[in-house]
Amino acid sequence: MKIVIKDKSIDVSEISRVYPAALVKTEEGEISPISLEWAESHIDSVEISGFSLIFYFKSESKPTLDIRYENFDEMVHDMELIFEKLSNIQN
């Protein structure tokens, strides 16, 4: 079963993990994904520049997929769609 997220076609049956992340700017000016929990606990000391869903796949030869978002609600919406499809596979 495939799902299209931001023009990326993903075979849901191949997903092993989905990691939601906040994107923060490092001191060097790079954008780095960090856990949402860490970002929330350090909200006063980091600049959140966006959000990301990072997909890990069952096949270790398949690289991770990083889909980026400008806002949190858009990321959550896509995450809900993905988890709905995953639950349909498991049932």
> Mean pLDDT for each 10-residue chunk of the chain (91 residues)?
91 92 89 92 88 94 94 95 81 55
CA proximity to 39, closest of 28, 30, 52 = 52
Residue 4 burial (10 A CB sphere; 0-12, 13-18, 19+) = exposed
Residue appearing with tokens 């856990």: 35
- pTM of the predicted structure, to 2 decimals: 0.85
pLDDT the model gives residue 91 = 55
Q: What is the pLDDT of residue 64?
A: 94
Positive or negative CA dihedral for 65, 67, 72, 74? Answer: negative
Return the structure tokens found at 91.
């049932």
Residue showing tokens 């806002």: 71
